[in-house]
Amino acid sequence: MTDLSGSKPTTPRSTGKLILLGGLMLLAIATFVALGIWQVERLYWKRDLIARVDQRIHAAPVPAPEGATIDAMADEYLRVTATGTFDNSKETLVYASTELGPGYWVMTPLRLEDGNAILINRGFVPLEKRDPKMRTEGQLSGPVSVTGLLRPTEPKGSLLQSNDPTTGWWYSRDVAAIAADKDIGKIEPYFIDADEAPNPGGAPVGGLTRVVFPNSHLSYAITWFAMALMVIGLFAAAVRSELRRR
């Protein structure tokens, strides 16, 4: 019978096209579900990490390890103590931006009894106290004990700036590079962030370590699962539409 209205007749999609569409949507659903499950696994891993680190930073200090390879995951933020003598002549300033404003971390080698050294982040000084002559009271001499958090070395520099030993500009606490630049000698492959114990004269200011672990895995998981549900909804709508056509 001839269609006198002039409009084209509606024809159902071919079975092949429906199978292809269904396959693509099932692949998308599987991918989104897999990503959601991965984020849930990461959520539990991050919660476990936060709990372990929280336990470390509040535990009684243990002697700083010597002559050992440091496992960043197992040892970072371990509360340690070390005794020695500061070599203030080989102090290094590392640019920092803290809750106290812009300034520098004061990195000083602590010379141990056996001659080896541990690099100590003694704390923060503002820009106007870059020169050690502006904080002579804090230039400690004689045996000292330092308590703080063990931190793995930060090689090469920050995300935005590379360390430049030739000009004396440091943007990360790269233990090996600082030791080579200052000719410190044998040094442990980590540094210690000194705690908040006050220094004479009030500088440097310790205890500013930020122990923060972003934990957005739950929201990411919800997003991926929601996208999987959206694709399921679209697929169901496409199937219903095709059934109506037929």
pLDDT digits (tens, 9 = 90+) for 45-89: 777 767 777 778 888 999 998 876 777 667 888 999 999 999 999
Q: CB of 151 within 8 A of CB of 211? A: no
Closest by CA to 203, choosing from 119, 120, 134, is 134
Q: Given the structure tokens 């929280």, which residue do they identify?
A: 54
Whole-angstrom Cα distance, residue 226 to residue 152? 38
pLDDT tens column, 149-195 = 999 999 988 878 899 999 989 999 999 999 999 999 999 999 999 99
Mean pLDDT across 128-148: 92
Residue 72 has a pLDDT of 67
Task: Read off the pTM.
Answer: 0.73
Give the pLDDT of residue 246.
67
Could you tell me which residues come within 8 angstroms of residue 219 by beta carbon, excluding any fewer than 6 positions away? none
